[in-house]
Chains A and B, each alone.
Chain A
């Protein structure tokens, strides 16, 4: 589209612009241009660890995850970091998974995310020992190397209490299929900088979001996809599940499609993947753009909730997820490729 100044303005397009009519879709960006356009559609509700206050975050008109919604008691338009608030600042070095700090403004907390010029994201605290006079050590989520002490800012953790179904349909008892988690200990963590500076949801084996009731049974072939990162995950847990599911199987090395049967294909651990499965009489996978004609041909039935990243919290994947959805139709190869291109171009 031409702008008044003669340049070009890149319009946002999401997966819903490629294949509309999703049964449910969740993500940390916009499902479609029309969902993103107003800049007010909810994407996710986050709890901040500092005082457990919760607020909705919207999809910005750019399609990216935006700031706090207008009804947020802490203020509208707040960024993730501004809403979360600072846990501590300190001068730190890092070696492997140990962060050694001095001059900490306060004792940092598990779950706080880290920013600093020498850190590779995502970086967050798994646990911290006792800090004495501002000095102490914490355990990091992943190995880092910061040889010369630098200022590290620790921002309180953010946790997802609800991910909003952006599909525009009301497939859960005449309401959108929003997935929720009322138990703090089972809420996925939102990591603000996870993949190319964009956020993701993180689960450690016991964090998942689930619809509070059953979703409408889909009576046609289905297509599921997720953009995910397995990290020594559970061997048999869904990325997204409803009547059927897709997920991670057999320690981290496969991506599965499950309906009345389970069929899987190889996918590497500790890497981002686009995983799509069509469950129909002509099933296929689209894993990272590559089509494999395989998968379950018979659909499972029954009224079930929709589960994102695992079940109610008893078990979930270990890894990250940025978006996932299901459609009550069988994508064509071309459609799957277009959705792959859309997602892989975004991330």
Chain B
């Protein structure tokens, strides 16, 4: 089944402390060029390994911030604090890093809500549930605490364990149906390549 529902992208095996940040680039081409430049600095062979940081296309273009100051359509994923995919990396062959200006332009997932496909504002997430379903969840002794925790934030990470668990528990408790469950967690195109 294709990548359309969810993952736990930030849930590493041991819960590393590194934080995901993003440097928005005007286009995919420019994002890849920046990623390739970092890879080249670290002596990638340019054949089997071309890019260093992943480039994430945005669901909707931003108009401010990022490397250009005018937003863009694609974001470099920077794992701040990580020894390899953070802001500065070195190995035996070379070193590479984000410039001071690029570091200053890094944005958090919350700042890119609705641009990053899996980060949605709380109201948009809640709108995926009917009033009746929301009420049922809010009054269910097992699930209500999970809802309260999600509602404490301004955005919802659809890849997060919290969002996944709430959807799974609500489905198991019969508070939502399968279609709502799928929709509650969907962040990419509907199933095209099962």
Binding site for B on A (CB under 8 A): 45, 47, 49-54, 97, 109-111, 126-128, 139-142, 161-162, 180, 182-187, 204-206, 231-238, 241, 243-245, 247, 249-251, 256, 258-260, 262, 300, 302, 304, 310-311, 313-316, 318
Contact = CB atoms under 8 A, between A and B. Distances in A.
B7 interface: yes
A139 B15 CA distance: 9
A43 to B, nearest CB: 14
Contacts of B42: 52
Given A142-B13, A182-B51, A184-B44, A258 B83 contact: no
Nearest to B178: A262
A238 to B, nearest CB: 6
B77 interface: yes
Given A110-B82, A141-B14, 13 more contacts: A50-B93, A126-B12, A127-B17, A127-B83, A139-B14, A139-B15, A142-B14, A184-B52, A185-B79, A186-B54, A234-B7, A302-B193, A318-B8
B131 interface: no
A127 B81 contact: yes
A259 B39 CA distance: 38
A262 B168 CA distance: 16
Given A233-B8, A244-B194, A206 B14 contact: no
B3 A127 contact: no
Nearest to A237: B7
Contacts of B168: 235, 250-251
A65 B35 CA distance: 32
A235 B6 contact: yes
A202 B13 CA distance: 10
Interface residues of B, number: 55
Contact of A236 (B4, B45, B94, B161): B4
B181 to A, nearest CB: 9
Nearest to A249: B1
A241 B1 contact: yes
Nearest to B4: A236
Given A111-B84, A251-B168, A258-B194, A184 B6 contact: no
A110 B84 contact: yes
A252 to B, nearest CB: 10
Contacts of A45: 48
A315 B1 contact: no
Given A110-B84, A184-B51, A241-B1, A204 B12 contact: yes
A92 to B, nearest CB: 16
B183 to A, nearest CB: 13
A49 B91 contact: yes
A182 B92 contact: no
A241 B1 CA distance: 7
Interface string B52-64: 1111100000000
B49 A204 contact: no
Contact of A238 (B2, B45, B56, B77): B2
A51 B89 CA distance: 11
A9 to B, nearest CB: 36
B75 to A, nearest CB: 12
